[in-house]
A and B are shown apart, each in its own frame.
Chain A
Amino acid sequence: MNLVALDAWIIITGVLCAVAAALLGNFLVLRKMSMMGDAISHAVLPGLAAAFLLTESRSSIPMFIGAAAVGVLTAMLTEWVRNYGKVDEGASMGVVFTALFALGLVLIVRAADHVDLDPDCVLYGAIELTPLDLVTVFGWELPRAVVVLSIVLAIDLFVVLLFYKELKISSFDPNLATTLGISARLMHYLLMTLIAVTTVAAFESVGSILVVAMLIVPPAAAHLLTDRLGWMIVVSVVLGAASAVLGHLGAIWVPSLVGFGSTSTAGMMAVVAGLLFVVAVLFAPRHGLVSKVAYRALLSLRIVREDVLGILVRAEERAAATGMSASELRKATMAGAVPLGIALLQLRVSGRIVRDGGGYRLADAGRVDARNLLRSHRLWETYLSRNLSLADDHVHAPADRLEHVSHLADQLDAVLDRPSEDPHASRIPRGEA
């Protein structure tokens, strides 16, 4: 097998792991049970040890069943300790999986006389070795891990598609699911069983702790990127696959920068998934930090612009004043120098205001906008006074904030029966296009 094929098989294995795990991880993240993935994956070690000690055989199938069974047992014991012992959920998980892991370590040491069970492999996986372990399927020589993971992925996909509606409802609202006749409990254990099986299939490649990275990190990132479950699953699967591909390339490339050979692909997969997560935290369209900051900045700029227009049109109304200087505007809007400067520049560029001597005054286009704002402000004042019974001398301040919600002006106008004056007897301008 040449090197390119070797790398290709490693990447395929990684992608299969990541996709199978991410598919299920979405439901864990939505159920706020992410740490259950961690608990179940730790159970692989005692599962393998127990299966070996019970069957005295090293063949794959008992091992697989043993590890998956202990995984499900972890979920059940956690539930049991929480219910009957009245222990906080996090703590009951902590008690169960550490105890099982410790038991696993002891069992493995006892078994180590007979067999090379390597906990390092269980923890970190040995994805680099997977292409060397081949089986023949339909005359094709395929890495065994690829075959196993494909089957597990197919099962996961089948169950998720079959029970999509049930999983969805029981993840968001278990009580609703129960009233609709869906057993939330059954769905819980179905999911736990799938996760145990997937973890067992994947631990050999990416290691039992890094399965957690594939279970949790891509879905967590996807949760920030979209609000729809269907899309969340798709996005998480894509992110998982991307971290597998980039992770392997990174494992070869990054250490060479500092003069070493390659490093663990599994570790780098988790690192890449983490980097993708960071990108999602920062730049997600709606929930990202940068976009939230940007949205707030744009909103506050719009408010400054509207305040400037409102102040100018009121000045005109009072005394047909010619304009106001920047410092007067700054005092009136209470905005910072920089936001005000930007707002004034934007207003001038869009032809809403013009410079006039040392100050600014409204242009015709600006006057139209300003009147609409004034209309919004005064309609809100009228509404607050009439419908919410605020005192007339108390409506200005809230209206000052609400006036920026100007798209409701026409509705307010209709509700208030087209008033012509606000509570302070100021004329309400008619709507203009």
Chain B
Amino acid sequence: MIDEIGRMVLDTAERFLGDCCTPDTLRGWEQGGSVDDLWAEIVALGLADALLAEEGGDAAVGLPELGELAILCGRHLLPVPLADTIAARAILARGNVSIPEGPILLAPDPAAVWPLAVTAHHALVERDGALQLVALDPSRVTPVQRGGLSARLDLAGVESLIVPSPPAPLLALAASLRAAETVGMLGRIFELALAHAGERQQFGKPIGSFQAVQQQLAVLAEEHAAAAMAVSFAFGLPGHLDMMRAGIAKLRADAAAGKGLAIAHAVIGAIGVSEEFALRLFARRLIDTRLCAGGEAYWAVEIGRRRLKAGATGTLDFIRQTGAAG
């Protein structure tokens, strides 16, 4: 349950993100515009710490508020890893490690490509069997696509600080946050497709009045709802995130992203793959997000192995154990 203070913080974040993340500003940041002013405002609003202040940084990374905030970050395509930073700051505080300024990326596997790596100043990574904090030198963060915020990190020989491991595995945390952002993005592409279906006229009427289009939009709504529930399940229980619930969230959100994005493109038509139409901003980030923190097959195997190990225990009882506070 989100309390009144949490709700206020989320409302503040929603207003702020809605105001500052417009298609024009997003394009500017993607083209290499500085995010320093944006980050300074986020810090000034207290968003980087607000959710964790009262918890004293104590393993608070399973909070429903964090999940909700990550959904908002996805919804507005915030170009800096805010949810990651909040989680990272909690982990650092818990380990009595001094907290650096600037955005911190969660990158469990430092050899992988990570969305928003371009705008991060530090990364929390798993290397040599330990959790480590590394400073990111912009010259060693290589975007994988022109105008993209996803990048590969070159950490060879980079000094790092060992951080005590939190109760939730870093991968579980990263996967849950990516799933939450996907839910935010799916909500927006549903709205974009719905608005387009209401405005765009063909054969003398809005395309949204055709059953073939309506049925597809209904499926997009279903996929969004299922992904949202998977994320709510991951963040909504007391205690910390675990691999099962994180995996369910990432797996379901990724599946929804694949199906949902295809439908949004089908409804919006050719303009949806153009640079000028906002859908492409969401499309790129959705695809980037799907490609990190464990893909669908990775998580399906993780969950499948656990279920097979439980053997004759029925699926219902197995699921109920997963749903018990972790």
- The finding on whether chains A and B are genuine partners in a shared complex, rather than unrelated, reads no
B residues lining the A interface (CB < 8 Å): none
A residues lining the B interface (CB < 8 Å): none
